[in-house]
Chains A and B, each alone.
Chain A
Amino acid sequence: MNMGGPDMAPHSPRRSARPGEVGAHLDPVLTVSDLQTHFFSFGGTRVVKAVDRVSFTLHEGETLGLVGESGSGKTTTCLSIVGLLPRAARIVGGSVVFEGEDLTRKSQRELRRIRGRRIAVILQDPMASLNPLFTIFRQVAEPAFFHQHLRGRSLRERVQHLLRAVRIPSPEWRMREYPHQMSGGMRQRIVGAIALAGGPSLVIADEPTTNLDVTIQAQYLDLLKDIQRETGVALIFVTHNLGIVAKMCDKVAVMYAGKLIERAPVRELFDDPKHPYTRALLGAVPKLGSKEPLYSIPGQPPNLANLPAGCSFHPRCPEAVPRCVSEEPGDFHLGDGSVARCWLVEGKNEAGAHRGPTRS
C-alpha cells in the first residue's frame, strides 16, 4: 500500500528545524525498557497484561506519537511512567529511566517532586483537570508555588508570563476568572500553562485535542509545536488520530493489545509501514479528495484478559501465516530505524542480530 504517492519518496528532504536531531547523540530524556504493567483482580487470580514489554526512547525536543485503539494500553503506559497507576495495577518488570533516574524505584513522595515540575501531563478533558472552584491564577500558580517557591509579585508575573505563552489574551484579567468563563480551547490552553509552569523536560499529552473543534485543534497543535521549539521539551503524544501523528511527531510507536508492535521514525512509518496492523490503520483513515473504499480491519480488538495465542493480531490479520497462530514474534530491527514485531519482516534487511523478544 503506497500511502504517499509518487512525490513522497522516502528520501524526500526532512523538515529543516528538527529539534530531535540536535539531541539525538545525547542521552535520552526518557528510556522505557521492557516495561510490564499488569492489572490484578479477583485476589490476583486474574491477570491482565495491559502493558507488555514496551520499550522506547525519547530525546530532548523530540515528539513521540503513541498510537493505538482504545484498550491497547497507551494510557496505562503513560500512567506507569508518572507513577499514577490505579490500585489494581502494578509495574511488574522493566524500567523507566528519566534523566538518569529509574522512576519505577521511586517512592510516591519522591515522584511528587518530579511530577508537575519535570514531567507534566495534559489530559483529554480540560474541565476534569481544572478545579471549577479556584481561579485560573491559583491553579496555574500552584506548580510555581510549590516547586519553585515563588511568592507575591514574582508569582503573579510568572503566571502572566505562562498565560501569555499559551496565547491567553489580557492575562492580568483572565487569571482572576474561573474555568467556566473560558471556552473549551482556552481551558485546554490553561491546562497547557499549568503543565509548563514547572519548566518540565517531558510533557505527556493524552489525547489533548479530542474534544476540540478542528480550527481550535489546529491552533492548539501549532501552539504546542511553538512551545516545544522554544523550550526543547520532549513530548509524548497519545492519540488514535494518525493525522495528528503526521502533523506533530518525529517518531511513532504503535500499540496493539498491550504490546508495541511497531516503532519507527514518522516518515518511515507512513511511507513503508512494516506491521500489517499499521498498514491497516493507515488504510482505514479517509483521505481528503479520495473516495476509495476504506480498508476496514475485520473483527474487534481482542480482550486483554483472554488474548489469542501467538501474535495477538493474527485473528484479524489478512497476511497471517501458520506460524503466527502458534509462536509470538519478537522485535525485528530493520535497516531504516524501524522495529516491528511481526514474523513477516523476519530476515528482511534486518539490522544486527537482535531477535529476542526484548531490548532496543
Chain B
Amino acid sequence: MAQPVLEVRGLKKHFPVRHGLLGRGKTWVKAVDGVDFAIHPGETLGLIGESGCGKTTTSKLILLQETPTAGSIAFEGRDIAGLEGTELMAYRRAVQVVFQDPFSSLSPRMRVEDIIAEPLEIHTDLSRAAIGKRVGEVLELVGLQPDVAPLFPHEFSGGQRQRIAIARALATNTRLIVLDEPVSALDVSVRAQIINQLEHLQRTLGVSYLFIGHDLATVAHISHRIAVMYLGKIVESADSDTLCARPMHPYTKALFAAALPSHPDDQQQERTIAGEVPSALRLPSGCRFHPRCPSAMPVCSEVEPTLQPRDGGGVVACHLYD
C-alpha cells in the first residue's frame, strides 16, 4: 500500500492538574494515551467517541496546537515534531481544519474573499489577481457562486458558512483536512448537502479526511475506516463496513445500541449501557471500560487489554477475544 499521508504512533498527551495546598500536588489527565492510526491518500478515517474521549486533543496534536507528551506523528514519512521554517510552513499549508460551529470559526469582520485568501497570502507568493482567481475556483468547488466573495459571513446560512470554511481549508492544495464535527451544528437537509459535498471533493481532489464525530451513522457513511476511542485509547478500529456489520468491543456495541433507529420497527432490543464516562483524572484500573461493561470479567479490572487483530480485519482491545 502507498505511503500514508499521516501516521500516528504511540501518541500521548498528558495534561498536569495541580491540586492541594498551593498546588503542590500534581496528577495527570491522560487525554490521549497511546494512540496509533494511519490515514492514506484519498481516505477518510472516522474517529468516534463521546465527549472527553480525547478525539479533539488528538486533532489538536495533529494541527500542532499542542505538543505530544510521547509518540510521533509522521506526515508523508517525516516526523512533524522536528519541522522548522519552510518545512513547517509546508506542513501547515498541507493540513487544514474545519470546525463544528461555522458561526464562530469565521471572522464576522472579514469578507469571504479575505477569509479564503488569508492562507494563500501567508503560504504562497501568488499575485493579487491570481489569489482572486483561486478564491473564485475554490468557491465553485464547494458549490457557491464566485460572486459571493465580497460578502460578509453574516449574509450566509449555517450550511453556506460551513462551505466557506471548507473552501478556506481547500485553498492551499491541501492534502489532509481535519473535520472536527463539521455537520453537528447543521440542519438535517443541509447536513446531507455538506456530507455529499465532502465526499465529492474527496473523489475529485484526492484529499484525505480525519472525520471526528459522535454520530455513528454519519461517521460510518463518510468514513472508509473507523477508530473508536474511549478515555484516551482506541478500543477498536476496522473498515467502516466491517465495523458496522460486526462490532466486537463492548463499547462499540454499546454505541450501536445507543444509535437511533432509522425506522420505528428496528428498535434496539438490548438496553443501553448504564453509567457515564468516568473522570479522566481517576481512570479505572485494567480496562478503562470495565465499570460500565456488561460482559466484564475479573481479569478486566486487573490487566489492561492491548489491541489485537480481530476477525474480518482491524484491531480490538478486549479480553473477551484473547
Beta-carbon contacts under 8 Å, A225-263 to B: 240-244, 246-247
Contact for A297 among B189, B263, B267, CB less than 8 A: B189
Contact for A12 among B216, B220, B257, B265, CB less than 8 A: B265
Evaluate contact between A213 and B188: CB separation under 8 angstroms: no
- Within the assembled complex, what's the spacing in Å between the Cα atoms of A183 and B275? 11
Evaluate contact between A246 and B263: CB separation under 8 angstroms: yes
**B17–chain A nearest beta-carbon distance, Å:** 17
Q: Does A45 contact B (CB under 8 A)?
A: no
Beta-carbon contacts under 8 Å, B199-246 to A: 199, 214-218, 220-221, 240-241, 244-245
Beta-carbon contacts under 8 Å, A175-227 to B: 183, 185-186, 213-219, 222
Interface of B is mostly: helix
Q: Does B254 contact A (CB under 8 A)?
A: yes
In the complex formed, the residue of B with least CB distance to A169 is B275
Residues of B within 8 A of A222 (CB): 271-272
In the complex formed, the residue of A with least CB distance to B158 is A70
Residues of B within 8 A of A270 (CB): 263-264
Q: Bits for B179-212, please: 1 = Cβ < 8 Å to A, else 0.
A: 0000000011111110110010000000000000
- Size class of B's contact patch? 35 or more
Q: Does B7 contact A (CB under 8 A)?
A: no
Evaluate contact between B192 and A296: CB separation under 8 angstroms: yes
- Within the assembled complex, what's the spacing in Å between the Cα atoms of A48 and B266? 40
Q: Does A267 contact B (CB under 8 A)?
A: yes
Residues of A within 8 A of B195 (CB): 286, 294
Identify 5 residue pairs between A and B in the complex whose beta-carbon atoms are under 8 Å apart, listed by A's number: A214-B258, A218-B272, A267-B264, A286-B217, A296-B189
Beyond contacts A4-B265, A214-B258: 4 other A-B pairs, Cβ-Cβ < 8 A, are A241-B188, A242-B188, A247-B264, A294-B192
Q: Which residues of A does B touch, CB under 8 Å?
A: 3-4, 8, 12, 15, 69-70, 183, 185-186, 213-219, 222, 240-244, 246-247, 266-267, 270, 280-281, 283-291, 293-297, 300-301
Q: Which residues of B does A touch, CB under 8 Å?
A: 50-51, 157-160, 187-193, 195-196, 199, 214-218, 220-221, 240-241, 244-245, 254-267, 271-274, 276-277
